[in-house]
Structure formats: structure tokens, C-alpha cells
């Protein structure tokens, strides 16, 4: 509990740097910045239902701020732009994308001014004109890259899952998880993160012209492993590992996990 509180305070107030690390101009160490952004991303993955009718973008952003409990800054006149949108059980990031589209605005996450701690800047969700947001992202490229990667995350998950619809055949052959990973990489043409903890796990596969997603389920059941699609080692990829490792990844990236769970449920019905 204390750990969670510490992270939230760090995210909102830009806590003091860790010893032994060089702090950049915004006052954050690289590790603190990464931790803070992941907190923001998890908040933006929360699902909400909302309806806004001819509401100023500034008021809508304040409402979203009350849900996410993260800092928000609205620049210039975009706060007065009226937006009308309705959402049912959608992640907050999609709501933000749509209100920005309606309001002809843009958003990012970046340092936005001094905090209560000397030498530190508050990191916030920043709304502004596309031109202004481009300037901010140029000023803070390390933030801009992670925000861009986050916004591409789910489309990449979708693309990976579509590739799992390709088919393979194994006729009573003994393979290792590492072997299977190489086969999937070659046929589905996607990145596979096969963790060393399961590399040499052996099992027998017997399947004819089946979808790769189904084969993965069978392989994981036979080898007492599991799989998901999530960020790993700097890229979104198919990850095969022990069940507890997959559970940790799914907890860290709940929206990716939701996509995978939906895919697996649909695959069971085919």
C-alpha cells in the first residue's frame, strides 16, 4: 500500500531523484520518468461511460482529470472549444482522442511547469493546438516517444492477433517451446518473446491445419506455460512464459490482456 502511495505521489509531484542517477533538465531520472508514465498509461486504460453535449474541452478535461487523478494542463484557447461525444465502456485514452478530434486539438504527456519540490517539474496530460503539442514533443522527445509507443500499443496487439489466424501443421512431433517460437516467427512473421525460463520445455504437438492461436493454447496446456501479447523488451510481441510471468504482464498491461482474452474466447467458439 505504501509503495502504491509513493508511486502516485511521484507521478503527480515529481519526487526527488534516486541516488546515483543523473537527472535531466526536467528534474526526473530516466527510471522515475518511465515509472511515472506507466502510472499515467494505466490510468488512461481505465474504461468509462460518458456523454458530453456542447461542452467546453477544458471542462471535459477537468472531468477526466477527476477520474484519473493525474495532472492536466489545457493550453491556449482550445479549452473553450465545444465538443459533443458519447462513449459506452471505452478506455479514457479513446475518449481523449475523440474530444481532441472534435475540438481540433492534440494531447501528450510532458513536463508542464515547476512543482512544489525545487528543481522538479510537474508531469501532466497536456492539451493544446496540434502545433503547440508538436513543439512540446520536440522539447521533450523522451516523453513523446513513450507516449507514441503507448498510443500504438493496442493497434500492434490487434495486428499480432490477426497473424495468429494463420495455420500450421504438426504431426505428432516432439518440440520445445523455443522450437515452436521459431516456427511461429517464420510462418506468422511476428516477434516472439520466448523467455529463457521455458526455452527447453518439451511437449508433443499433433495438429493438422489449425490456427496458430489454437496451437499456442494446446502447446501451453501441454507444457504448463502460457502466452499473451504485450510490450516486452522494448516492443509489443507474442510472449510465452510461465503462467505467473504472464499474469504479471497482464496485470501491468490490462488493455492488452483484455484484447488477448477476447481473441481466445472467440477462437474457442470457432
Q: Are 134 and 170 within one domain? A: no
pLDDT at 8: 39
Domain annotation covers residue 145: no
| pLDDT band with cut points at 50, 70 and 90 for residue 2 | very low
Rounded Cα distance, 103 and 94, in Å: 14
Q: Are 127 and 194 within one domain? A: no
The three cell numbers of residue 98 are 475523440
- Is the pLDDT at 22 greater than 90? The verdict is no
Residue whose grid cell is 501491468: 252
pLDDT at 5: 33
pLDDT at 32: 86
The three cell numbers of residue 40 are 499515467
Each residue's pLDDT tens digit, 162-216: 999 999 888 888 999 999 899 889 988 888 988 888 989 998 888 889 999 999 9
Residues with Cβ within 8 Å of 122's Cβ and at least 6 positions away in sequence, in order, are 12, 13, 14, 71, 111, 112, 113, 114, 115
Each residue's pLDDT tens digit, 37-89: 988 988 888 888 888 899 999 888 888 888 877 788 999 888 899 999 888 88
Strands (E), the chain: 47-56, 72-74, 82-91, 106-114, 121-128, 167-176, 192-194, 202-211, 226-232, 235-241
- For 88-101, letters b (16+ CB in 10 Å) and e give eebbbbbbbebbbe
* Nearest CA-CA partner of 78 in 95, 56, 55, 48: 56
The three cell numbers of residue 12 are 503527480
Task: Give the rounded percent of residues in the chain with a pLDDT score beyond 90.
Answer: 34
Q: Which domain holds residue 209?
A: 161-269
pTM value? 0.70
pLDDT at 15: 37
Q: Are 60 and 169 within one domain? A: no
Q: Are 23 and 119 within one domain? A: yes
The three cell numbers of residue 41 are 498509461
pLDDT at 105: 93
Q: Are 87 and 15 within one domain? A: yes
Mean pLDDT of 234-247: 92
Amino acid at each position: 500500500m505504501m509503495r502504491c502511495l509513493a508511486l502516485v505521489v511521484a507521478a503527480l509531484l515529481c519526487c526527488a531523484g534516486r541516488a546515483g542517477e543523473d537527472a535531466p533538465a526536467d528534474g526526473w531520472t530516466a527510471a522515475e520518468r518511465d515509472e511515472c508514465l506507466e502510472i499515467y498509461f494505466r490510468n488512461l486504460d481505465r474504461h468509462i461511460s460518458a456523454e458530453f453535449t456542447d461542452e467546453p474541452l477544458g471542462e471535459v478535461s477537468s472531468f477526466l482529470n477527476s477520474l484519473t487523478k493525474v495532472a492536466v494542463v489545457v493550453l491556449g484557447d482550445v479549452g473553450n472549444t465545444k465538443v459533443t461525444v458519447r462513449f459506452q465502456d471505452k478506455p479514457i485514452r479513446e475518449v481523449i482522442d475523440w474530444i481532441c478530434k472534435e475540438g481540433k486539438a492534440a494531447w501528450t504527456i510532458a513536463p508542464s511547469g515547476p512543482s512544489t519540490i525545487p528543481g522538479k517539474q510537474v508531469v501532466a496530460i497536456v492539451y493544446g493546438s496540434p502545433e503547440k503539442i508538436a513543439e512540446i514533443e520536440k522539447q521533450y522527445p523522451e516523453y513523446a516517444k513513450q507516449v507514441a509507443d503507448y498510443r500504438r500499443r493496442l493497434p500492434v496487439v490487434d495486428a499480432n492477433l490477426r497473424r495468429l489466424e494463420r495455420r500450421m501443421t504438426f504431426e505428432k512431433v516432439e518440440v520445445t517451446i523455443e522450437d515452436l517460437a521459431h516456427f511461429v516467427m517464420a510462418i506468422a512473421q511476428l516477434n516472439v518473446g520466448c523467455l529463457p525460463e521455458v526455452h527447453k520445455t518439451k511437449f508433443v504437438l499433433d495438429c493438422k491445419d489449425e490456427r496458430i492461436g489454437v496451437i499456442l493454447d494446446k502447446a501451453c496446456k501441454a507444457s504448463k506455460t502460457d502466452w499473451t501479447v504485450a510490450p516486452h523488451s522494448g516492443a509489443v510481441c507474442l510472449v510465452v512464459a510461465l503462467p505467473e510471468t504472464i499474469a504479471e504482464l497482464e496485470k501491468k498491461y490490462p488493455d492488452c490482456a483484455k484484447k488477448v482474452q477476447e481473441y481466445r474466447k472467440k477462437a474457442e467458439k470457432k
